[in-house]
Amino acid sequence: MISKKHVILIGMMGTGKTTVGQVLAKKTSLPWKDTDKEIEQVIGMTIAQYFSKFGEKEFRKLETEKLRELLSKSPAIITTGGGVVLKEENRKLLSQNGFVIQLKAQPEVIIKRIQQAKEMRPLLVGNIQEKVYTIMRARKGLYDFADWTIDTTELSVDQVVEHIIHLLNKRGLI
Ligand code: S3P
């Protein structure tokens, strides 16, 4: 069992954090917590609705608050929104409180994966292709503070989960 720390998944939208996190939680018997989902419960609307009503800056405040709250609780698999790494404060909080795993993928694969749920992602309104490349460029290096990085481009969800479990086992964390 993981003693003190959380296992935290970070990465661009469409890298599979949420799906991987849910399966990983089941397999490790740890609770699964997702910052976006938790925020939606508090605000009573979707993140997309909140963005259009109050803007990104207000959302980022809620995101940091929620992150602090989840990190202060008992060990969990925590999945985060892709933009959580934008604030240095968040990056510090994450690396101090958990084993941070970065999921990444080639932009073409990300674009394919998010085509279906694009209306859920306020930052991708318009030309998705262009937006994904622009966001990836703007965030270059910001995910690299992670303890581990897994390229999910050619992996299934189960393969990513197995990989993480192997890493956690090897480090004696589960
Ligand atoms: C965002 C990613 C989204 C969500 C919000 C902003 C981002 O989460 O937090 O739309 O800035 O990359 P996912 O990464 O789960 O799509």
CA 55 – ligand 1 centroid, Å: 13
Residue 96: the pLDDT is 94
> pLDDT tens digit string along 90-112?
999 999 999 999 999 999 999 99
Distance CA 122, CA 115 (A): 13
CA 27 – ligand 1 centroid, Å: 25
Residue 120: the pLDDT is 86
Residue 155: the pLDDT is 97
> pLDDT tens digit string along 58-91?
999 999 999 999 999 999 999 999 999 999 999 9
Which residues contact residue 63 at a Cβ distance below 8 angstroms, ignoring those fewer than 6 apart?
35, 39, 81, 83, 84, 90
* Atom 3, ligand 1: residue with shortest CA distance: 81
> pLDDT tens digit string along 20-31?
999 999 999 999
- Using the atom order of ligand 1, give the atom closest to the CA of residue 63: 9
Residue 118: the pLDDT is 75
- Using the atom order of ligand 1, give the atom closest to the CA of residue 123: 10
Within 10 angstroms of residue 53's Cβ, the number of other Cβ atoms is 11
Using CB atoms within 10 A of its CB, is residue 55 exposed (0-12), middle (13-18) or buried (19+)?
A: exposed
Could you tell me the pLDDT band of residue 126, with boundaries at 50, 70 and 90?
confident
> pLDDT tens digit string along 31-54?
999 999 999 999 999 999 999 999
Residue 4: the pLDDT is 47
CA 170 – ligand 1 centroid, Å: 30
